[in-house]
Amino acid sequence: MPDVIAAIDEGGANDLVQDAEAALGTLSDSGSGSLGPFTASWSASATFSGGSADLIAPNTIRLADVRMDYTVSFTFSFDLSSIIPDFCLPQVCVNVPFIGRVCTPRICIDWPTVTIPVSHSSFVKFTADFNPSVTLVGGVWKVDLVIAGVPSLQLGPAAAAIIVAIGAAAALVLLPIPFIGPVLAIAVAAITAAIGVAGVLGLLGPILSPFVTGLRFTVYEQPQVFEILPAAPPDAAVNVTLTAITAAVVSTDEDELVLNVDFSP
Amino acid sequence: MPCERYLATLVMMSLTETEEVHAGLNESGANDLLTAVFTARPRLLNYRSSPLIPGPPASPAAWTTMPAIAFPGVPGGVGWGVQFSIPIIDFHPDSSGGLPPPLVLGVGRFSLRTTVTLTLLCGTRRGEHDPDNPQAAVMPLRAKLELVGIGHTNAVYFGTPGQGEVTFDVDAIEIVDIKPDELETLLECLIRMLLDAALGTVRLPFQAVSAGAFAFALVRGPEVENDQLKLYGNVL
Amino acid sequence: MSTLDSRSLTYVNTFGRRFGEPGQVRYRLVTAPVTCQPAHDLPFTIEVAREEGGEQQDVTVHLKGDALVAEPPQLSIAAGDLVLWHSLASTPGYAVQGESEKGQFDSSSLTSETLYTHAFGVPGAYEWTDAVNRSVSGVVNVGSLDSGDPKQCREWMEALARGTLVVIEGDRADPSEVSVLAGQTVFFAVSAAEGITITDARLIEA
């Protein structure tokens, strides 16, 4: 029999996971990716909360409806000329009393390169299985719940909202451009059509999925040299060495996550 | 037994039972903890009134120094030493091979085995004692006794949720075959008091019992059964 | 690039000057903002013939390498013709500085019988004034139409071909306030002035 058997039931595991989610804090990442025909630079952050734990023997902890709150900020730049057609002001003629008839030349507008910043915050829920993973690295024992497999993230609604946000952001950026007025709506529509929901999903999925697929919740973390009693002068600290740890889900009249710990003096 | 009831008994009970968290310290683990405590802090098992009480251990830091027993006419008092070996604990049920009567390892209790070494600095007659050369006047006399004891555990709670300690109380000991019986009774009482006090210095934090797993607020325990010391609680 | 400031000409502007006296006009193109420079290099010429004219002659300004060039670099006109400078979209802000037998001229300082046009690209109220002496000022109200409305869109397309004239004589602008749509061109014709600018008042430090 191991030196210590520590067990936690599903109710306790729920609390444990909530604490582990909070301890995970805010995850951040950045990079670049495809937004339809454009290249976007992005930064994103995510936090996790909620979910209910279902312990399934022999080694599965199923977390249902875990909520990932995220913020994605991205910018993409392009030559507006590639989106909207050339636009030219016609020749304008007036009669100037002391000069005579004067005509300006046809003026073709040079659309600039624009950079559109978009930021979007929302959440998505997912259900995933986790397996306990016991490691001893750098003199520290850890038991992590590591996600198994890639859960499907339902990002459709978020993509639809982001397309709207892109349109609004584009309108804001384009509005001050001289002579854009008559073609502003066309330009915004062309931008959102070029990207499309598929383009947004193509950017959003690869951004958010790694936050989920890389999830590890730490449910146990102790140094291998485990302090029983702290030093209290004139007495030294009292330590034992944790020599082995195993983790599994055990099913009896209820399901429990069980850690077996061995140590030596 | 009706079939359904019989089948129900075949389904094992969970470890946590009605609480969220269970921490079970096996008696082998308990003995490792005691070994760790008393190895790091040997002065908790070694008491003497004078360095004239010889070791082992040799280091003065491994001893707790106490006053000599004052007695009129005994210059400097009676020099003494009491030492215990690291107790070996056995949680109920008995797996030590049996206890000497009248000791019985009841439910929820532990037994322990240790040796006590009593040392007396035997002095010369009054008047021949040379205070400038006390070594010439005293001679350590040593007796080593095996003893078995029984006891129970307690939980001491602190104000901070989840913070507390498990302590060990010695209820009775048995030293076999000392005559006359009155002397055995006297020594058993004396040594029980000393052992209870020495073992009372061991205060194991709840987190030590769980090896640091699942911080919890204690709801039930310590309960001693199935060779384990068990704590039950809810996640903080 | 579409700032209302005659001191710096861009592709939404033109600068015109009527040359009434026969002779040779030499000029150069300088990038704006214009600083005080000795007039030692006037590479472009306008030969004003004696015969009477009254036509418009166009000169296109563009960037060739690092230098501003006029196309055509040598121009022959009749006396009384208007020379109208305009640039391409990629040309930086510039000014025209030259001299004739009648004296020197500078597009960044409008004098008699000169013209400055500006196509307004962004809706808003533009209070303009002379940046040098604040001698003359006016307002151009630039409105917009709903391009999604087909009727308004047609109206707007037709309006683009119509110009609005403001005549400046001394310290008076007539009319002092005009209203146009985004995309329309205002012609600021200077009939008499000592050297003024047409500058958005917000560009001038208080």
Contact call for A228 and B35, based on CB within 8 A: no
Q: Name every residue whose Cβ is closer than 8 Å to that of residue B86 and which is 6 or more positions away in sequence.
A: B34, B35, B38, B39, B45, B114
The residue among A98, A110, A174, A184 with the most chain C CBs within 10 A of its CB, best to mutate, is A98
Among candidates A92, A110, A185 on the partner chain, residue whose Cβ is nearest the Cβ of C163 = A92
The pTM assigned to this predicted structure is 0.78
Where helices occur in chain B by DSSP H, the ranges are 3-10, 27-40, 181-199, 206-209
Q: How far apart are CA A17 and CA A8, in angstroms?
A: 12
Q: Do chains C and A touch (3 or more CB pairs under 8 A)?
A: yes
pLDDT (average), residues A42-60: 95
Contacts of C169 in chain A (CB under 8 A): none
| pLDDT attached to residue C128 | 96
CB of C125 less than 8 A from some CB of A: no
Contact call for B32 and A264, based on CB within 8 A: yes
Q: Which residues of chain B have pLDDT under 70?
A: 1-11, 124-137
| pLDDT attached to residue B134 | 56
Contact call for A9 and B14, based on CB within 8 A: yes
**C154 falls in which pLDDT band (50, 70, 90)?**
confident
Share of chain C above pLDDT 70, in %: 93
CB of B208 less than 8 A from some CB of A: yes
**Mean of all residue pLDDT scores within chain C:** 90
**A51 falls in which pLDDT band (50, 70, 90)?**
very high
| pLDDT attached to residue C37 | 62
Contact call for A102 and C84, based on CB within 8 A: yes
| pLDDT attached to residue C148 | 66
CB of B221 less than 8 A from some CB of A: no
The ipTM of this complex is: 0.91
The token pair at B30 is 């308990």
Mind listing the pLDDT tens digit for each residue in B113-172?
999 999 999 876 554 555 666 555 678 899 999 999 999 999 998 777 778 999 999 999
CB of C39 less than 8 A from some CB of A: no
Contact call for A3 and B25, based on CB within 8 A: yes
The residue among C12, C60, C63, C77 with the most chain A CBs within 10 A of its CB, best to mutate, is C12
Contacts of A222 in chain B (CB under 8 A): 211-213
The C-alpha of C144 sits at a distance from chain A's nearest C-alpha, in angstroms, of 7
CB of B166 less than 8 A from some CB of A: no
Q: What is the DSSP string of chain C?
A: ---SBTTSB-TTEEEEEEE-S-EEEEEEEEESSP---------EEEEEEEEE---EEEEEEEEETTEEEEESSEEEEEETEEEEEEE-TTPPPEEEEEEETTEEEETTBB-TTEEEEEE--S-EEEEEE-TTT---EEEEEEE---TTSHHHHHHHHHHHTBEEEEEEETTEEESSEEEEETT-EEEEEEEE-SSB--EEGGGS--
| pLDDT attached to residue B177 | 77
The C-alpha of A194 sits at a distance from chain C's nearest C-alpha, in angstroms, of 20
- Find the range with the poorest average confidence among A114-128, A189-203, B154-168: B154-168
| pLDDT attached to residue C151 | 82
The C-alpha of C162 sits at a distance from chain A's nearest C-alpha, in angstroms, of 6
Chains touching A (3+ CB pairs < 8 Å): B, C
Mind listing the pLDDT tens digit for each residue in A168-187?
999 999 988 988 887 888 89
Point out which residues pair with C87 in neighbouring strands.
C61
Residue A206 half-sphere exposure, CB side, CA atoms within 13 Å?
14
B124 three-class SS: coil
Mind listing the pLDDT tens digit for each residue in C18-64?
999 999 999 999 987 666 666 568 999 999 999 998 899 999 999 99
Share of chain A above pLDDT 90, in %: 83
Residue B95 half-sphere exposure, CB side, CA atoms within 13 Å?
13
Q: What is the DSSP string of C163-174?
A: EEEEEEETTEEE
Domain boundaries, chain A: 4-264
Chains touching B (3+ CB pairs < 8 Å): A
Contact call for B213 and A5, based on CB within 8 A: no
Mind listing the pLDDT tens digit for each residue in A82-118?
888 888 999 999 999 888 899 999 999 888 999 999 9
Closest-CA residue to C142 (of C122, C157, C128): C122
Among candidates A6, A11, A253 on the partner chain, residue whose Cβ is nearest the Cβ of B23 = A6
Q: How many CB atoms lie within 10 A of CB C9?
A: 27
Higher pLDDT, A257 or C206: A257
Q: How far apart are CA C60 and CA C91, in angstroms?
A: 10
Residue A194 confidence (pLDDT) above 50: yes
CB of B46 less than 8 A from some CB of A: no
Q: How far apart are CA C22 and CA C49, in angstroms?
A: 5
CB of B43 less than 8 A from some CB of A: yes
- In Å, the largest CA–CA distance within chain A is 111
| pLDDT attached to residue B127 | 47
pLDDT (average), residues C120-132: 93
Closest-CA residue to C121 (of A200, A176, B87, B214): A176
Q: How far apart are CA B70 and CA B119, in angstroms?
A: 16
Residue C98 confidence (pLDDT) above 90: yes
Contact call for A6 and B21, based on CB within 8 A: yes
Sheet with C13-19: strands ordered across: C67-71, C56-64, C81-87, C13-19, C114-119, C185-192, C163-169, C172-174
Contact call for B208 and A229, based on CB within 8 A: yes
